[in-house]
Structure 1
Amino acid sequence: MRLLMLNPNTSQPVTDLIAAAARAAAAPGTEILPLTAPRGVPYIATRAEAVIGGAVALEMLASAHATADAAVIAAFGDPALGGARELFPIPVVGLAEAGMLTACMLGARFAIVTFAQALEPWYRECVEWHGLERRCAGVRALGGAFRDIGAVGEEKEALLVELAGRAVEQDRADVVVLAGAPLAGLASRVAERIPVPVVDCVAAAVKQAEALVALRPRKAARGTYRRPDAKDSTGLDPALADWIAHRPPR
């Protein structure tokens, strides 16, 4: 199968981390197709940036979905996930949803651990959007600045392990979810230093996408996730405008 890994921010080093973690998790025969947003912000940390990244993710899907069997929106807050599932006929997986649902299979309550306090409000709202408030023991985020978004996992590794330990001891988390695409691949390095299961969201998303492709679900023809009726638009990315209007690709 062919799996799109869509990074809705503009940081190529983060895309490289995502792709490496995805390929490490993928089954034989799964081809990972990484894409980086052509415009936007270097990393998504706020509600407004999530809206920007989500719009770009829809444009990327409009251009590339026909070449793939499934797609992953590789940002933890799952920007535009609902819209992507509504519009496109292939399974679309969100990093946050995949990580949290995987954690729910490993324990009663999970903690989200991430690298920047600016992410915390958006991540809490993401938990609520997915209806998982009762399963979430808390969201813990590091304070302070970091030098390089593409290397924040290495730079903050010891502090993230310490923070995860506090989530286990103080929040009574059964599972730790390492949140944020820049932390892709970190779980395998720190798993033995954290006393509960640790979820790598990129790996979880790849395995969820593979499972969905194997299950061969049809695209909804009724209900709230059916493809919307054709509609003209003004000023949108041409591929997305054509898809919304039900026009054939140019």
Structure 2
Amino acid sequence: MRILLINPNTSQVLTEKLDEAARATLPPDVDLVSVTAEDGFPYISSRAEAHCAGVGVMDTLARLGGEFDAAVIAAFGDPGLLPAREAFDMPITGMTEAAMLSACMLGHRFAFVTFTPRMAPWYNEQVRQAQLTSRFSGTFTPDVPLGKIGEIDSDLREPLIAECHRAMEAGADVLILSGAPLAGMAPSLRGEIDAVLIDPVQAAVLQAAALARLAPQGASGGSYRRPPGKPSTGLPEALARHIARED
């Protein structure tokens, strides 16, 4: 089985962190290929940036998706996830959705623990969209300055641990370490946090592998049925051909 991991951020450092974290839990028969967005933002941190990044995700799937059994959108907030499921007949998972659904199978209430309050409203919207509000204890973030994006997990380790404890006090028994810069951090905290910790990219990759085995054609029916072909103007060539059904 081959899985394509798409980092919609343009930071190669984040791709390497995501790839390393994902490989730590991959089944032995899964081949993972990780790619970095060529255009966009070093780190997506708003709805607008996520919307722009979604086009790049779709283009990557149009160019490379035919070589894979499933794909993972490896950015919290899942940019382009729902449109991608509509346009491509393969299983596609996103870090936010996969982490939330895993959390509901591992405990009663979950919380996001992340590194900046700027993204909390957007993250909370993901919970409402998934209709999981009754299982959600909130988003918890330290109020401290950010350093280098690739070193947040080490620079903010103690403040993040403190936020994990705050989330537990608010009733969460499953904590999702949210955001690509925190990829791979969960295993190092399991001896210090008395709650279930979820690494979103690991959840997304494992679910992608499971879905590829359950339904090789992906989410191609019902409301996600692929739309009729349509010409377009100004889109990347591969994506334009795919949407026009010329692929």
TM-score norm. by structure 1 comes to 0.96
Instruction: State the shift of 1:220 in Å.
Output: 5.1
Is 1:155 the counterpart of 2:155 in the alignment? yes
After TM superposition, the runs of 4+ consecutive aligned structure 1 residues lying more than 4 A away are 219-222
Corresponding residue of 1:36: 36
1:177 maps to a residue whose letter is I
Residue 52 of structure 2: aligned partner: 52
| Aligned positions, number | 247
Question: What corresponds to 2:6 in structure 1?
Answer: 6
The percent of aligned pairs where both chains have the same amino acid is 46
Please name the residue that 2:190 is paired with.
Answer: 191
Q: Indicate the SS of the match to 2:217.
A: coil
Q: Note the alpha carbon deviations across 1:154-202, whole angstroms, 9 max, x for none.
A: 1111111110011101x11011010011111000000111111100111
Judge conservation of contact 1:113–1:139 (CA < 8 Å) in 2. Answer: yes
Q: Distance in 2 between matches of 1:175 and 1:154?
A: 21
Within 5 Å, give how 1:59-78 maps onto structure 2.
59-78=59-78
Q: Deviations over 1:97-126 (max 9, x none)?
A: 111111111111101000111111110111
User: Residue 24 of structure 2 corresponds to which residue in structure 1?
Assistant: 24
SS of the equivalent of 2:138 reads: strand
Q: Distance in 2 between matches of 1:122 and 1:242?
A: 32
Deviation of 1:221 (Å): 5.4
In structure 1, distance between residues paired with 2:95 and 2:76: 5
If the length of structure 2 is used for normalisation, what is the TM-score?
0.97
The CA deviation at 1:143 is 2.2
Q: Distance in 2 between matches of 1:6 and 1:99?
A: 17
Q: How does 1:94-133 map to 2 (within 5 A)?
A: 94-133=94-133
Match of residue 201 from structure 2? 202
AA aligned to 2:239 is L
Pair 1:238-2:226 in alignment: no
Q: Deviations over 1:3-53 (max 9, x none)?
A: 111110101100000000111110101111101000101111111011011
Q: Does 1:139 align with 2:139?
A: yes
Distance 1:221 1:151, change over 3 A: closer
